[in-house]
A and B are shown apart, each in its own frame.
Chain A
Amino acid sequence: MNKNLFLFLLLFALAGAFALCDYTQCIDPYVAQIIMYIGINIILTASLNLVNGYMGEFSVGHAAFMGIGAYAASYVSLSVLPPSPLFFPLSLLFGGICAGAVGLLVSIPAFKARDDYLAIITLALLMIVKSLFENIPFFGGPQGMSGIHKYTNLTGVFVCTVVTIVVLKNIIAGNFGRGIIAVRDDEIAANLVSVNTKHVKILAFVVSSFFAGIAGGLFAHLIQFINPRTFSLVKSTDILLMLYLGGTASLTGSILGAAIWTVLLELLRFLGIWRFVVAPVALILLMIYRPSGIMGGKEWRFLFGKKAD
């Protein structure tokens, strides 16, 4: 109980500190931007972890859901809601719901297939979403959308990140989480101990895409313009990299993976274009010497410790 109170106060203090930073602009804007990227990447990685890590499927379409969230949130905040940061949570939510709805639509055919086949279906989704954005004038075509207000700030990203992690942690700890892990370990046995695996899979996919949509909304309102190329396979690969770097089936891993990868790419900026060679080499080395990622399926007790029963 004491630990929970301490964690709560810590998170509250952090939120306060970030709010102060936002208010006084005391942090270098470049550093603030990196911190926000880290938060957004944590949301993306942790939500993908639910499907690729805990459930053991292989989806490569996460960038598509991020894109849907980004476009939907931007559209609502540009054209529907009054231009005030007060309404930003609403447009974020709308982005998340749109992504979740598309997730639901895709999950029904997608989960008739498994493994490689699911990867191919999500890859197809990624291509469809990208070409829709590119070719429908309503979405701004190849130029995308610009002039999006900069509503994303440190506090907003922090709150969204914490909410994502807490919700995912809570889902994983309960009935559905056990169902999700059971699907990964042995799907037939899961069905034969009364887990409705079809529901579990759809649910995991929808929750995962919802949070990807939220991350997309935050992202769009941070860089203020989006175009279809932003949400290509490269983005999906980035998220996969962060996931496997941190280690699947571990929320601590997702947090670390996202933070380390984001910071590493920035630290290696002096190498110019070579950083895209050096960083992946680091990843190859990690996969050779620690194939299960940094956390290897474990959690930090302090953050995600389970009470002994």
Chain B
Amino acid sequence: MEQNREPLLQITGLTHAFGGLTAVSDFNFTLDKASVWGIIGPNGAGKSTVFNLISGVYKPEKGDIIFKGDVITGKPSHFIVAKGISRTFQNIRLFKSMTVLDNVKTAVYASQSYPLWSAMLHNKHYKLKEKRITETACELLDSFGLASRKNEIAASLPYGLQRKVELCRALVSGPSILLLDEPGAGMNPSELDELADLILRVKKSHDVAIVLIEHRMRLVTGICDFVKVLNFGETIFMGKPQDLGNDAAVVKAYFGENNAASFN
């Protein structure tokens, strides 16, 4: 890696509180291209809050988020997403009345926009754009094996496929960073392995850096290059997933003082 290249995403001193409760404090994070980061921690550690701060759902109280050299702290969500940080949700949030295809097509709102009057008149420009949008979306769905389900209502799909649709929706705008909020929730071990393959494949084919929040260690140790552990909003560990079990603070956070032996 080159020495003085500027990182894709740099977060410094990010702090946020809900009322008196500090959900995230002094969160620092540097993301380079081509890496997979895992953020883990017990429930309520502030993992999802970090995602919500990065993607503009909450405005941080302190700290800076610099993405591709620009400060994006406190910018509206749609701006941040349009700039290249896509995300999925812990509890899948598809547009439930829309078809699978329309769900994916909605996400090119900023990346392939056209003026309102084009849409009103259905002119050449509109038709060309819509054709390209549909093609892009179909290709992506096809690569996820969803081509045959594209005209079904998204909410009627089985859980695992809904996760894939959500992933498609996050990818269609061509992001540089993908934030995955517990992608493995509710999956069995073999589905988890499949998901791990999928995530690595996506990383390669879409040239996207990935940050994932996860409870399932199988997934974290399987695909993450680096791991960050949060507890009560504070970072207690940062490093390679292999070293997790040897870190006293991590073991304490998960198992308490006296149960270190039960890890692994």
| Interface size, B (range) | 35 or more
A189 to B107 Cα, complex, angstroms: 10
Of the listed stretches A33-41, A77-85, A194-202, name the one at the interface; the rest are far from the partner chain. A194-202
Of the listed stretches A144-152, A173-181, A260-268, name the one at the interface; the rest are far from the partner chain. A173-181
Contact indicator A192/B81 (Cβ below 8 Å): yes
Contacts of B86 in A (CB 8 A): 192-193
Give A286-302 interface residues, CB cut-off 8 Å to B: 297
Q: Is B102 interfacial (CB 8 A cutoff)? A: yes
Contact indicator B95/A175 (Cβ below 8 Å): no
Q: Is B169 interfacial (CB 8 A cutoff)? A: yes
Interface of A is mostly: helix
CB distance from B87 to the nearest CB of A (A): 6
Q: A193-B169, A194-B173 given as contacts; is B113 within 8 A of A175 (CB)?
A: yes
Contact indicator A196/B78 (Cβ below 8 Å): yes
A173 to B119 Cα, complex, angstroms: 8
A65 to B46 Cα, complex, angstroms: 47
Q: How many A-B residue pairs have CB under 8 A?
A: 107
Render B158-193 as a binary contact track against A, CB cut-off 8 A, 1 for contact: 000000000001100100000000000000000000
Contact indicator A175/B114 (Cβ below 8 Å): yes
Give A149-179 interface residues, CB cut-off 8 Å to B: 167, 170-171, 173-179
Contacts of A178 in B (CB 8 A): 98, 102, 105-106, 109
Q: Is B101 interfacial (CB 8 A cutoff)? A: yes
Contacts of A167 in B (CB 8 A): 120
Q: Is A184 interfacial (CB 8 A cutoff)? A: yes
Contact indicator A192/B119 (Cβ below 8 Å): no
Contact indicator A195/B78 (Cβ below 8 Å): yes
Contacts of A182 in B (CB 8 A): 95, 98, 106
Q: A178-B105, A197-B78 given as contacts; is B89 within 8 A of A189 (CB)?
A: yes
CB distance from A176 to the nearest CB of B (A): 6
Contact indicator B93/A195 (Cβ below 8 Å): no
Which among B57, B113, B118 has the greatest number of chain A C-beta atoms within 10 A?
B113
Render B80-107 as a binary contact track against A, CB cut-off 8 A, 1 for contact: 0110001101000111111001100111
CB distance from A285 to the nearest CB of B (A): 26
Q: Which residues of A contact B (CB under 8 A)?
A: 167, 170-171, 173-179, 181-182, 184-186, 188-197, 203, 249, 297, 308-309
> Top 7 nearest A-B pairs by Cβ distance?
A174-B119, A194-B110, A193-B107, A185-B95, A189-B93, A191-B77, A194-B81
For the complex with contacts A167-B120, A170-B120, A191-B57, 17 further pairs of A-B residues with Cβ separation under 8 Å are: A170-B121, A174-B118, A175-B112, A175-B119, A181-B106, A189-B94, A189-B95, A191-B76, A192-B77, A193-B107, A193-B170, A193-B173, A194-B78, A194-B108, A195-B78, A196-B78, A309-B134
